[in-house]
Amino acid sequence: MKKYIDTGKKDTRSGFGAGLTELAKTNENVVALCADLIGSLKMEGFIEHSPERFFQTGIAEANMIGMAAGLTVGGKIPFAGTFANFATGRVYDQIRQSVAYSEKNVKICASHAGLTLGEDGATHQILEDIGLMKMLPGMVVINPCDFNQTKAATLAIAEYEGPVYLRFGRPKVANFTPENGEFVIGKAVMLSEGTDVTIVATGHCVWEALLAAEKLEAKGISAEVINIHTIKPLDEEAILKSIAKTGCIVTCEEHNYLGGLGESVARVLSLNNPTPQEYVATKDTFGESGTATELMAKYELDAPAIEKAAEKVLARKK
């Protein structure tokens, strides 16, 4: 399998900050809004370059979304940032009515998603946000895997006309995708070709999938690893092409198995080519306080869990 190198651990939220700072310099229509979490969203660079294009809304997320929707009427491209829990659950009504239904060009930028938020615990660890957002008509849902890809995604969504949910995280994780790589919305990335089992992963689980594939290779199992950075629109062609070769699939996500990437893949399979599938995801549960590494292990989202799921689905295929 193709080998990937961690060039140095970085947090994906800093990838967002780097992309937003670049947009401050290159796209005068981009404006930024934040609900009192400038440091957490890494927005300092944007503010330093373009303070007149930044709006601090305070802890008033519903107002922030309404302001963002209004700014699009004047041709602005608003990037509204806060924690994922507040960016979706707290303001779902405003997103549904003022952004999705109204087809406004708002970019909802959500940091601290999933279990890897860590010690802040269950009240902040939203594991339902992908499901909430992908069900909104017209909403694009993006969950990049590392610093480089998050920066690239941030730049790409500024060029896309329409509402976008961009999800990223708090901890420092492996940074392994190419610097300044191309980001195509809705186009999966083949990371490593294989013949025995397909592993599709999103977000922080992508690196874990690559680690699992190395362990499987040592056991004589050839795993095909695909990075699904865009959950909606889903690259159905890439998934179907892969499972036509391997005959089984594992889906991996830092999200509830109800409503996430796994269910989107299951729909594609059921309609086109029913195939054995195993889910690596949280099992209809809330999280708890702990380090990111501890929680990924306890909730079975890490490389050993992916390896185990691959072996299980292979046994089902036989």
Q: How far apart are CA 210 and CA 190, in angstroms?
A: 11
254 a catalytic residue: no
Count CB neighbours of 71 within 10 A: 21
Contacts of 266 (CB under 8 A, 6+ apart): 251, 277
Q: Please report, for residues 46, 76, 109, the alpha-carbon distance to residue 52 in angstroms, rounded to integers and kept in the order given.
A: 10, 13, 20
Structure token digits, residue 69: 């929707």
Q: Are 105 and 159 in contact (CB under 8 A)?
A: no
Structure tokens that stand for 138 in this block? 């017209």
Determine the Cα–Cα distance for residues 12 and 288; give it in Å rounded to an integer: 21
In Å, what is the CA distance from 28 to each residue of 80, 92, 150, 263? 16, 28, 21, 39
Separation in Å, CA 307 to CA 135, 195, 279: 30, 15, 12
Of residues 127, 167, 95, 138, the one with CA closest to residue 259:
127
Out of 61, 224, 253, 278, pick the active-site residue: 61
The answer to whether the CB of 145 falls within 8 A of the CB of 6 is no
Question: What's the residue count for the chain?
Answer: 318
Distance from C-alpha of 134 to C-alpha of 268, rounded to nearest angstrom: 15
| Selection from 117, 120, 171 nearest residue 145 by Cα | 171
Residues carrying an active site annotation: 61
